[in-house]
Amino acid sequence: MEIWKKIFCCTRSAVLAAVTLFCCSGCEILQEAMDAGALDTDNPNSEDYRPRFVVGIFSIVYYPRASELEKPVRDLSGREIYINTNQNFSSKNLRDVKIVVRPGNPELCDLKLRLDRRGKVQWQLLAGRHRDEQVAFVVDGKLLAKFVPELPEDENANWVFVRVGIDHFHAKNIVKFAKKNYIFYNPDSSNFFKSF
């Protein structure tokens, strides 16, 4: 009888652990954390590299017309908005990122983005077109924030400040993968001929 009690307790513990793991697997942040560590390579020059925490900035469509240029995206709480699928800005022109912890609310992070030459032009167009109007800050297809793009005080500045107010997990991973994604999207042309 004592053996059956032990078997029952072990089985119950295993079932509870499996149910807990199954319930947690729906959590997006946990899933992203698991995905970020389970990939083959961190070398952006490798054929196996897969960009992660890819940033895209899109215009928000307030009155969708079911156009091919519009698509819905969901935020982390499941709410849906429509965006114009033509990107205004992306990780392709994002050389580096720094975290700026929001004063008075250390739970939220804003970002400083270091842009390449083309990125500076894109940012000026973005900020000019969306003056006093929010745009969507999308990472890996998920809406993380809406913000109003601001022009830097110096038009030749390489860094722009973005008031997105995102969580530390996403901010740290955007920083971690920004340089690697930039290298991946902008390969050195001299590498094209090394394999011949």
For 48, 132, 134, 175, 182, the CA distances from 150, given in Å and listed in that order, are 36, 9, 10, 20, 22
Would you state the pLDDT for residue 104?
92
Write the CA distances from 103 to 37, 110, 159, 171, integer angstroms: 31, 10, 19, 16
Tell me: pLDDT of 133 over 90.
Answer: yes
β-strand partners of 87:
58
Distances in Å between the Cα of 105 and the Cα atoms of 72, 100, 134 are: 30, 11, 21
Q: Is the pLDDT of residue 24 over 60?
A: no
For residue 107, the tally of other CB atoms under 10 A from its CB is 9
Q: What is the pLDDT of residue 6?
A: 63
- The confidence score (pLDDT) of residue 163 equals 95
CA 116 vs CA 4, 26, 31, 158, 173: distances in Å: 67, 37, 31, 7, 20
Share of the chain above pLDDT 90, in %: 58
Between 154 and 137, the higher pLDDT residue: 137
Helices (H), the chain: 2-24, 28-37, 117-129, 168-185
Task: Give the pLDDT confidence score for residue 111 in this predicted structure.
Answer: 97
DSSP one-letter code for 62: S
The pLDDT, as a whole number, for residue 19 is 53
- Between 41 and 181, the more confident residue is 181
Query: What tokens does 68 get?
Result: 């091919």
In angstroms, how far is CA 105 from the centroid of its own chain? 21
H helices present in 111-167, as ranges: 117-129
Q: Which helix (H) or strand (E) holds 139?
A: strand 135-139
Q: Per residue in 41-85, pLDDT tens?
A: 787 777 888 999 999 999 999 988 878 889 999 988 888 999 999
